[in-house]
Amino acid sequence: MSFEEQVLAQQSLPKHVAIIMDGNGRWAQQQGKPRVWGHKNGVESVRESVRFCHKLGIQSLTLFAFSSENWRRPEEEVSTLMELFIFVLSNEVKKLHKNNVKLKVVGDKTQFSSKLQQKIKDAEALTATNTGLTLNIAANYGGQWDIVQAAQQAAQQVADGVMSVQDINESSFSQFMNLSDQPQLDLLIRTGGDYRISNFLLWQAAYAELYFTEVLWPDFNEDVFSEAVATFVSRERRFGCTGGQIKALMQQES
């Protein structure tokens, strides 16, 4: 996307929001329950976030459900999370489809069980032609993994003679990144009180506004989401330019 397009694409509401859903374990522990209780309750916050995006007409919502590093968690927690993903995919996909939501799972799916891989394929196929909200579930995803797989695709094209080394630039490289078919990321929210990106959308977050909240994911709701969107709207995005240059460009266009 050219600089002018980037600036003019900015409207008051974000088109693409991503969320690092953190704090499930602490939420459960605060209630004297096992960590997986927090993940199970986190599903309701996912539903509420999807409803909110649908209502606001946000085009893409990307949720960090499982990072490449989450395999290091206790085996029992990992397997409960996998079962939860299968359960959610089986139970929610029809409702998502009815609401015209397109579901995509981004990440290295090869390490998932064949049952989960099949559920993902079925859910993506069922919703593939929907035109409402695109819901991206980042599962076994890592920002560095995404950049590496894009570099491999670019290298392959050079090896195949489709592209020359000189053809590789920010714009042509972008097409190999996950989510390149969707609006650029506008707003990245992290719940749970930490101030990190944790290897999430490293490339895609280049110009995103960041919003951090202490709220733990199972307590995340429409009110907190509204607050994040209101903060986004109140911020002036300059893409490295002066405020005067941006204003002039916007006036020129209107």
Active site residues: 22, 70
Q: Residues 14, 18, 42, 62: which binds ligand FPP (CB under 6 A)?
A: 42
Q: Which stretch binds ligand FPP (CB under 6 A): 84-92, 99-107, 144-152, 153-161?
A: 84-92
Backbone angles phi, psi at 18, to 5 degrees: -125, 150
Q: Does 70 bind ligand FPP (CB under 6 A)?
A: yes
Determine, following the binding rule CB under 6 A, whether residue 21 of this chain makes contact with ligand FPP.
Answer: yes
The reply on whether position 84 binds ligand FPP by CB under 6 A is: yes
| Minimum separation from the CB atom of position 243 to ligand FPP (A) | 37
Binder among 17, 37, 49, 85 for ligand FPP (CB under 6 A)? 85
Which of the stretches 19-27, 148-156, 159-167, 230-238 binds ligand FPP when contact is defined by CB under 6 A? 19-27
Q: Which is nearer to ligand FPP, 143 or 192 (CB)?
A: 192
DSSP 40-72: HHHHHHHHHHHHHHHHHT-SEEEEEEEEGGGGG
Contact letters for ligand FPP, residues 181-220 (x by CB under 6 A): -----------x------------------------x---
Measured CA angle at 112 (ends 107, 113), to 5 deg:
155
Neighbouring residues of 179: CB distance < 8 A, sequence distance ≥ 6: 16, 60, 62, 106, 136, 185, 201, 204
Of residues 22, 146, 186, 209, which one binds ligand FPP by CB under 6 A?
22
| 14 or 42: CB nearest ligand FPP | 42
Number of residues that bind ligand FPP (CB under 6 A): 21
DSSP, collapsed to helix, strand or coil, labels residue 103 as strand
Q: Within the chain, what is the greatest distance between any pair of CA atoms?
A: 60
Residues 6 or more apart whose CB falls under 8 angstroms from that of 156 comprise: none
CA distance 198 to 143: 9
Q: Which of 155, 208, 159, 151 is nearest to 177 (CA)?
A: 151
Q: Which stretch binds ligand FPP (CB under 6 A): 20-28, 100-108, 201-209, 232-240?
A: 20-28
- What Rg do the C-alpha atoms of the chain give, in angstroms? 19
Cα separation, 227 vs 213, in Å, equals: 10
Q: What is the number of other CB atoms lying within 10 angstroms of the CB of residue 107? A: 23
**Taking CB under 6 A as the rule, which mask of x and - marks residues 109-148 in contact with ligand FPP?**
----------------------------x-----------
Our finding on whether 39 is near ligand FPP (CB under 6 A) is yes
Q: Which is nearer to ligand FPP, 43 or 126 (CB)?
A: 43
Q: Cα angle vertex 178, ends 74, 122, to 5°?
A: 70
Q: Cα–Cα distance between 158 and 168 in angstroms, integer?
A: 9
- Site of interaction with ligand FPP (CB under 6 A): 21-26, 35, 39, 42-43, 46, 63, 65-66, 70, 84-85, 88, 137, 192, 217
